[in-house]
Amino acid sequence: MVNMVKKLIQLHGTNDPFRIASMRNILVLYEYLGKSTWGYFSCVNRIPIIHLHELMKEAQSRFTCAHELAHSLLHPKVNTPYLKAHTLQSIDKVEREANQFAVELLISDELLLTGMTIYDAAVACGVPEEVAHLKSKPERKLNLWTNEDSFINL
Ligand SMILES: [Zn+2]
């Protein structure tokens, strides 16, 4: 998952899920989705669409877009459930994968390498703290750390 997300960021030159969706010709629609739904992914007549609740704040909207983008890339044939607040703690395989993808995409390794905790980095990147633990530890960049003592353990 980590490498797949890194390749995607490299390929599109951004980690912004809205820009990646538009470059991949995935429509993003804003709709009123009721009280508890954040968004969902649909593919009708081969047109992939990410549906987002129109009344979400920017960070929540970005996270939801990243989660649904994951479904379009990883689970295009699966009828995925609506993303709701409780989905963040879901143990369902596809939901967990989509959350993991979103976390990898949105939380930058650089913040963690500077010594920020995963939870602080999640807040800084607009990621819900319930899913922050899904972020993998970034690999040390060898050119950044000259010796073992200069590495900050997270
Ligand atoms: Zn989902």
- Read off the pTM: 0.89
Residue 20 neighbours by CB distance under 10 Å:
22
Distance 67 CA to ligand 1 centre (A): 6
Distance 153 CA to ligand 1 centre (A): 33
Per the document, the length of the chain is 154
Q: pLDDT digits over 66-109, tens only?
A: 999 999 999 988 888 899 988 999 989 999 999 999 999 999 99
pLDDT value at residue 51: 97
Is the predicted pLDDT of residue 3 greater than 60, yes or no? yes
Distance, CA of 116 to chain centre? 19
Distance 82 CA to ligand 1 centre (A): 6
CA dihedral 58, 62, 63, 69 (to 10 degrees): 160
What are the residue ranges of helices labelled H in the chain? Answer: 2-12, 17-23, 58-74, 93-106, 109-113, 118-124
- Average pLDDT of the chain is 91
2-108 CATH pick, 3.90.245.10, 3.40.109.10, 3.40.190.10, 1.10.10.2910: 1.10.10.2910
Distance 123 CA to ligand 1 centre (A): 21
Is the predicted pLDDT of residue 151 greater than 80, yes or no? no
Distance 89 CA to ligand 1 centre (A): 11
